[in-house]
Amino acid sequence: MNGAPRRPTGVGHRLSQIAVALGCVLFVGGFAVGALLYQPYAVPTDSMHPSVAAGDRVLAQRIEGEQVRRGDVVVFREATWGDAPMIKRVVGLGGDTVACCDPDGLLLVNGEPVHEPYLDPRWSESPTAYEVRIPEGELFLLGDQRLASIDSRDQISEATAGSVPVQAVTARVEATLWPPGSVGLLPRPTGFADQPGGISATGPFLLLCWAVGAGLLLILAGALYGPLARRSSRSGHRGVPKPTGDAQ
């Protein structure tokens, strides 16, 4: 009789197959949905430091301009700003009045001071004072490095508020992917939460990460079941003594 261990069967084997199948769905599905909803970008300048810095790789959720809320860090393309995609923070929507600054150096939106803890105090003061009303259908954009950023303030003139059309926005930055020390979600812009419409909800990035991670664990667990079961079977087989014949 062949003493080789049998291939695993039974409930454990079926469960391992289900785990691998479910894991593949979660793993591949998470990446596929992520590719549809998100797009990576390289940050070209330090104008958004310290939220993101030049050379960082960020992940941005594809959105329509009408979905933008105050405080969002957005990717946009506007001919008057240059040919390449740019990344700035939305601080004013159509109909808002944006001004700089109150006695404490805080940005004023519709007369209300906005606390922005993600700013570096060394670079948070604007070099110029201004007050503009944003036309409907447009956005006022600032870099987080207020002392040096080139943004809507530089576009202000008698004919324009320095804003850009909402249609110029293609995505909302949600997380930093590189370098390793900066990996994580961007800070929530809670200082804008009391403004009309509130702030944007968190995107599905974390949920997709959990799906991919859970899928990988299920695939590994299901794949390991077979070798572990065979090893256990061999150990049990060696532990059973062979009969030595009838007693005399």
**Annotated catalytic residue: which of 16, 47, 51, 163?**
47
Q: Give 221-227's long-range contacts (Cβ < 8 A, gap of 24+).
A: 221/16, 221/19, 221/23, 222/15, 222/16, 222/17, 222/18, 222/19, 222/20, 222/23, 223/16, 223/20, 225/8, 225/12, 225/13, 225/15, 225/16, 225/19, 226/7, 226/8, 226/13, 226/16
Instruction: Decide if 88 is catalytic.
Output: yes
**Annotated catalytic residue: which of 88, 152, 163, 200?**
88
Instruction: Decide if 242 is catalytic.
Output: no
Cβ–Cβ < 8 Å for 138, 169 = no
**CB-based contacts of 213: which residues, under 8 Å, 6+ apart?**
none
Please identify every residue annotated as catalytic.
47, 88
